Chain A
Amino acid sequence: MRRWLALGGAVFVALALSGCGPQKAVRAPCPSGKVCLEMGLGAEVNSIDPNKITGAWEDQVVGDLMIGLVQSDMNGKPIPGMATRWDVSADGLKWTFHLRDAQWSDGAPVTADDFVYSLQRILKPETASEFAALLYVFKNAEAVNQGKAPPSAVGVRAINARTVEYTLEHPAPYLLELAKHQTMYPVPKHVVEKLGDQWLRPGNYVSNGPYKLVSWKLGDRIVSDKNPLFWEADQVCIDRVNYYPTEDRISGERQVKSGSLDTNTPLNPNRVAFLKTDMPGYVRTAPMLGTTYFAFNTSLPKFQDKRVRQALSMSIDREFITAKVRNNGEPPAYNFVPPGIANYVPPPPPAWAAWPYEKRVAEAKRLLAAAGYGPKNPLKFEFTFRGYDPTGMYAAVQADWRKMGVEATLIATETQIAYQQMRIRDFEFGDVAWVADYNDAMNFLYLLQSKTGGMNYSDYNNPTYDALLAQADNERNLVKRAAILQRAEKLMLDDVVVVPFYSYVSTSVTNPRVTGFASNVDDKHRVRYMCFKDAKPSRAAGPAPKG
């Protein structure tokens, strides 16, 4: 009986919630005379150690605390950070960065040693950084990360306290893009060596960026205050940032609407159109460097047949899904590398992408029939997709295939478990997303290299492709390099090893009062650039905006 009541109650609450009226803004208390920003991160922060973080929401917090050799400007472009200038050797293998005279938030100077220490620490096998492989461009980094060489062997050294030199395995024209990434932030050697993991506690945590950590309560919020020792502290408007783990996206939207939060990301895709009318001026969407794609388990005979893979890719009505089902401005993807990647010219999409959908289906049917699949012998497979899907897009894909007689069984799988299963190839057909770590086509194309291993979900193994990528690694001319990478992508797309589905857009609801929140392809929004339209600079003792 009690259960029954609970059920009735749940239904009632669900109905009641749908009609909830305007809510009162409850903002965190803000010290008088200060400007406070309330930011929803969309997920719980697991770490604030620059060498250990993985999520973009974690970098939102850490990227406001730490500054690497270069930093992102408002539009995501690399601009001088800790380094004021840098030189590259003629062969492109040695990068020398000259550091500015700057301090950690405890007053200690930021030195070249902090950068050397950070790179050695992130590569140490004991650190178990999930992103270490990104740094294999540095000399001996791979060997260090695999425990085959001591951390001191990695290609980085302090020439003097203010000069740090990196040695690379191969020329990397994208090094400045990589230097923006969280894996390249310095860590305060003097604190980490003394306190070990305790350095992450508020009170111990020392930063070199525009903010310093005040408190961190799991499940509640992280608080950062302006760092008065930051060299451009006088240009930072927001005095305090409260970061919230808004796991429930819809409640996050409502908090922005009511004014409890100033910004929240991301949005459920199919709500973007609705929110644009419900909260005019709040919704921000911008192209972002990410691709959602499908991978085949090519150890299965049915997916070894290229005709089958081609038919499945061809018959997905991407336009219907992006325009009607997701409906948030994401472009349908026919290429693997998303639009907007720097120094790259994408290959033309396959010819069939321009065909009318009916023609694509007819051709797909023909291909399937040629591969021996038809009404008597339907193609059957399991389609593992990530998480719970309120948009119904996977069901729409499934329906597209069903019309051709393909029987795909949808299996909703918790995101982390889905990736785990795919890494060990415990899947048949799977759904994956990849978001750029740094703005370069190589960051996408390396996923399908034969030596990538676990994350090469389709086990693509084409020596020509591998050779092209190796060739690109050694090419210093950006235009020639782009042409090589383009050939590689074309080759891989012609082999239909993955099914590109759609490219990303970043989405957030942000109060129009907030300034300095610019859209960029990295989806990086540093609080140091933000302010409120009606806020007086904090140096003047004017009243803070309501809150």
Chain B
Amino acid sequence: MSAASPLVPGSRSGAKTMEAVAGRSLWEDALRRLLRNQAAVAGMVVLGLLILAAVFGPALLPFDYDDVIKTDVYARPLQAGHLLGADYIGRDLLARTIVGLRVSLGIGIVATLVSLIIGVAWGATAGFIGGRVDEVMMRIVDILFALPFVFFVILLMVTFGRNIFLIFLAIGAVEWLTMARIVRGQTMSLKQAEFVEAARAAGVPRSGIIFRHIVPNLLGPVAVYVTLTIPGVILTESFLSFIGMGVQEPLTSLGTLISNGAANMELATWLIIFPSLAMVIMLMCFNFIGDGLRDAIDPKDR
């Protein structure tokens, strides 16, 4: 049904004539619906705060995340000035959690962006052109899907060396596969739509149709999928760090903090509680926003 409510930029000029009467674009409609969703708004506010903390927090704290304070091993929360306590070698847990948040958010957002760009371009092209091109492009996706992820990451590491940037890239380069499939499916149904027919009849070139008419209409499902990909990526990163291919000490991520906390949880419960809380809150925010976006953009749900 989404095909029946084109969000092509062209439709905005059509709405202009009605300005005196209504004056609201479909995007504005969606935004209003999103803002009416309390969970989504709360999610956005909390996530905003988390991002602010991740960006500016480390500069404001009295402790560095990699500062080993030998007298503060396993300091409890509030002890010796450590708000959330200290870890097994005397590093401030608040500082480490915030740095972990920064790394996890960074990886989540960058890797998702990479997957978004590749996935949407690939899927939209395959879906729109169809036929043999589609076959070839989707078989490439199938082959990449079959490639074991860890194997792929090891290959990257061997070729380019260890680098946190590579992890971003590696995860993004794998996550785009699902995105491409979703986008392709949507595109195939969109290209039957009247406004695409019209554009084709008007002689708009293929690339123009894909990027001006089809891609903007994909934004609904894509936006939802993106908010759900970010937590997936964060999880993948913690897996990689766990097997020693992700971020390395003293840098940390939420996944690493949680796995180290789990190993020490009987000695120091705070080492697992606070990083897990940060992770859960962040993931819930993303999920509420994702739900809210889906409800807001889906035209069926008016």
A-to-B contact residues, CB < 8 Å: 1, 3-4, 6-8, 11, 14-15, 18, 250, 268, 270-271, 274, 278, 317, 320, 324-325, 387-396, 398-400, 402, 409-414
Contact = CB atoms under 8 A, between A and B. Distances in A.
Interface stretch (B40-48, B209-217, B257-265): B257-265
A410 B248 contact: yes
Contacts of A18: 262, 265-266, 269, 272
Residue of A15, A395, A411, A414 ringed by the most chain B CB atoms within 10 A: A395
A167 B66 CA distance: 58
A325 B269 contact: no
B37 to A, nearest CB: 18
Given A390-B263, A395-B250, A325 B88 contact: yes
Given A393-B89, A399-B250, A412-B248, A270 B264 contact: yes
Contact of B89 (A15, A250, A271, A399): A399
9 contacts: A3-B228, A3-B231, A15-B272, A250-B263, A270-B264, A270-B267, A271-B267, A324-B73, A412-B244
B79 to A, nearest CB: 15
Given A15-B272, A399-B89, A278 B266 contact: yes
A399 B297 CA distance: 50
A4 B272 CA distance: 19
A244 to B, nearest CB: 21
Contacts of B49: none
B248 A409 contact: yes
B244 A413 contact: yes
List of 6 A-B pairs having minimum Cβ-Cβ separation, nearest first? A412-B244, A390-B263, A399-B68, A395-B249, A392-B89, A396-B89
A4 B248 contact: no
A112 B259 CA distance: 54
A271 B266 CA distance: 9
B242 to A, nearest CB: 7
B232 interface: yes
B40 to A, nearest CB: 16
Contacts of A400: 68
Contacts of A412: 244, 248-249
A11 B267 contact: no
Contacts of B33: none
Interface of B: 66-68, 70, 73, 87-90, 162, 228, 231-232, 235, 242-244, 248-250, 258, 260, 262-267, 269, 272-273, 276, 279-280, 283, 287
Nearest to B262: A14
Contact of A399 (B66, B162, B283): B66
B242 A388 contact: yes
B66 A411 contact: no
A268 B260 CA distance: 12
Contacts of B264: 270, 390
A247 to B, nearest CB: 14
Nearest to A274: B267
Contact of A391 (B88, B248, B265, B269): B88
A388 to B, nearest CB: 7
A11 B276 contact: yes
A389 B260 CA distance: 8
B89 A395 contact: yes
Residue of A1, A317, A387, A394 ringed by the most chain B CB atoms within 10 A: A1
Contact of B258 (A11, A320, A325, A394): A11
Nearest to B238: A7
A411 B269 CA distance: 27
B89 A1 contact: no
Contacts of A324: 70, 73, 89-90
Nearest to A319: B70
A316 to B, nearest CB: 12
A398 B249 contact: yes
Contacts of B73: 324-325
A8 B280 contact: yes
Contacts of B273: 15
Contact of B276 (A14, A268, A389, A399): A14
A389 B273 CA distance: 20
B175 to A, nearest CB: 11
Contacts of B244: 387-388, 411-414
Contacts of B279: 11
Contact of B68 (A270, A391, A396, A409): A396
A398 B249 CA distance: 9
A256 to B, nearest CB: 15
B150 to A, nearest CB: 12
B119 to A, nearest CB: 16
A90 B261 CA distance: 61
Contacts of B87: 392
Contacts of A392: 87-89, 249, 260
A413 B280 CA distance: 29
B249 A410 contact: yes
B77 to A, nearest CB: 16
A497 B244 CA distance: 27
Contacts of B228: 1, 3-4
A402 B88 CA distance: 18
A447 to B, nearest CB: 26
Given A3-B235, A11-B280, A414-B243, 20 more contacts: A3-B228, A8-B280, A11-B258, A11-B276, A18-B272, A270-B267, A278-B266, A317-B70, A324-B70, A324-B90, A389-B249, A390-B260, A392-B249, A393-B89, A398-B250, A399-B66, A400-B68, A409-B248, A411-B248, A412-B248
